[in-house]
Amino acid sequence: MTTVGDPQRTLVMGVLNVTADSFSDGGRYLNVDDAIRHGLALAEAGADIVDVGGESTRPGAVRVDPGTEAQRVTPVISALAAHGVQVSVDTMRASVAAAALDAGASIVNDVSGGRADADMGRVVAQSRAPWILMHWRPAGDASTEDRHFTHRVQDAGGYRDVVAEVSGELLGQVDAAVAAGVDPDLIVLDPGLGFAKSSEQNWALLHALPTLVGLGFPVLIGASRKRFLGALLAADGVDRPPAGREVATAAVSALSAAGGAWGVRVHDVAASRDAIEVAAAWRSGGQRG
Ligand SMILES: Nc1nc2ncc(COP(=O)(O)O)nc2c(=O)[nH]1
CA–CA gap between residue 195 and residue 185 (Å, rounded): 25
Q: Which amino acid is at 89?
A: V
Query: Per-residue confidence at 147, pLDDT binned at 50, 70, 90?
Result: very low
Query: Per-residue confidence at 149, pLDDT binned at 50, 70, 90?
Result: low
Q: What is the pLDDT of residue 158?
A: 84
> For residue 144, what is the DSSP state?
S
Question: Which ipTM score applies to this complex?
Answer: 0.98
CA neighbor of 266 nearest in space, from 95, 89, 49: 49
Tell me the C-alpha to C-alpha distance, in Å, between residue 288 and each of 149, 215, 276: 45, 29, 13
4, 22, 24, 57: residue to mutate for ligand 1 pocket, most atoms within 8 A of CB: 57
- Give me the chain's average pLDDT, please: 91
Per-residue pLDDT tens over the stretch 88-107: 999 999 999 999 999 999 99
Q: Return the ligand 1 atom nearest residue 222 CA.
A: 17
109, 187, 220: residue to mutate for ligand 1 pocket, most atoms within 8 A of CB: 109
Whether the pLDDT of residue 193 is over 80: the answer is yes
CA–CA gap between residue 190 and residue 188 (Å, rounded): 7
Query: Per-residue confidence at 156, pLDDT binned at 50, 70, 90?
Result: very low
Per-residue pLDDT tens over the stretch 13-58: 999 999 987 666 667 888 999 999 999 999 999 999 999 999 998 8
List active site positions. Answer: 226, 265
CB 214: neighbour CB atoms within 10 A?
12
Helix (H) and strand (E) counts in the chain: 10, 8
Is the distance from CB of 79 to CB of 102 less than 8 angstroms? no
Three-state secondary structure call for residue 12 = strand
Q: Atom 14 (ligand 1): residue with closest C-alpha?
A: 222
User: Higher model confidence: residue 4 or residue 233?
Assistant: 233
Q: What is the pLDDT of residue 259?
A: 97
Q: What is the pLDDT of residue 139?
A: 67
Give the distance (Å) from ligand 1 centre to CA of residue 284. 30
**How much is the average pLDDT of 69-80?**
98
Whether the pLDDT of residue 150 is over 70: the answer is no
Task: Please compute Rg for the chain using Cα positions.
Answer: 18
CB 231: neighbour CB atoms within 10 A?
14
111, 132, 193, 209: residue to mutate for ligand 1 pocket, most atoms within 8 A of CB: 111
Q: Which amino acid is at 120?
A: M
Strand partners for 87: 50
Ligand 1, CB cutoff 6 Å, lining residues: 15, 17, 22-24, 57-58, 90, 109, 111, 132, 134, 190, 192-193, 220, 222, 224, 265
How many residues are present in the chain?
Answer: 289
Three-state secondary structure call for residue 260 = coil
Whether the pLDDT of residue 245 is over 80: the answer is yes
